[in-house]
Structure 1
């Protein structure tokens, strides 16, 4: 399935406190906290990255998906949202697909992990909110129409200045620069002090 993805992220200090508020704001829990493992693929010369494209295999609980993302043909230069054209489908065997990618010259270049909790909005059917707990901190992603994103940020009392369009790869590189960490991947095994909220 192909769709336009419009989203913003913001950092989150207390996932439990936010989730306690969400039902009052019209959100419904879709997927409880679930472990997610992602692998990005590219050529040895990073051709996809140079074209602002992404090729990913994701294992999310029992569900495996393959995703391709690219920039839209036209995007307003002043937009403050992350906008991508996303094509995604489920796959039966992620390991077999990984082998196919590698035979075609697309090798694993970056791995990142998180625990994700998914919420949907009861009145805005195309909108959803996810809480991601990563080894370098917690983030919320809002995906939906721009006016819904803006309204939800206001309802949650989030400072728009804290909102981000960075990928987890970019957030990881920024974190590495700040901390001097030698980690090469955003995984719980590679980062010895994960920033997670106890449950």
Structure 2
């Protein structure tokens, strides 16, 4: 169990951030392709309780990682009023497809899927994620509030618009701005996905639960 404290920067310049991170001596863990499937209980209890159940698959050129995560509402600690704060419980699983079938057998349904290319860095104890999604690019800082503030200034993000919204909420706003119908999922087109996989040096596409709503 861990407390997730984060801020997003939807308008961040990723090239500039990457340069500043390298100059600051930050550690890069390598970009990877990420597929996420969100599950809801049929009785709606997860949504009503402000909880999120997610199965994530991460793919690098040399390895895979699958993680089941439950996010729960959490009390906001002092000084974290301008952050998104959630309690996070997660466990690594060896087989994403088998885990999907287990969840379905327990009464959960896959209701949304989203993809991104994520490039994780670590600077002064703060996780800095450079994210490319089908509808936007942005950055996310996660760590202790005081450390996030310091890294934010160090990377020149103190004058960049920040948000405590999740990517689903940002996607809904993007759809509204572009007069597009509401939908839960946001995934790359086949051509975009193939291009990213080639750029990341990935092999055959991993088996990911197909959801498109």
Name the Cα RMSD after superposition. Answer: 2.4
Q: Which 4+ residue blocks in structure 1 deviate beyond 3 angstroms?
A: none
> Which residue pairs with 2:205 in the alignment?
none
Q: Which moved more, 1:80-89 or 1:178-187?
A: 178-187
CA distance change for structure 1 residues 76 and 90 in 2, over 3 Å: closer, same or farther? Answer: closer
Residue 33 of structure 2 aligns to a residue in which SS?
strand
Please, what TM-score do these two structures have when normalized by structure 1? Answer: 0.85
* Structure-1 separation of matches of 2:94 and 2:118: 21
The aligned runs of 1:80-159 (5 Å cut-off) are 80-121=82-123, 124-125=124-125, 127-159=126-158
Aligned 8 A contact 1:153 1:160 in 2: no
Count of paired positions: 188
Question: Secondary structure, in 3 states, of the residue corresponding to 1:162?
Answer: coil
Alignment of 1:23-102 (within 5 A): 23-30=22-29, 32-61=30-59, 62-72=64-74, 74-75=75-76, 79-102=81-104
Query: TM-score, normalised on structure 2?
Result: 0.80
Shift of 1:139: 1.1
Give the gaps of 5 or more residues in structure 2: 200-213
The structure richer in strand per residue is: 1
Structure 1 unaligned spans of 5+: none
The corresponding residue for 1:18 is: 17
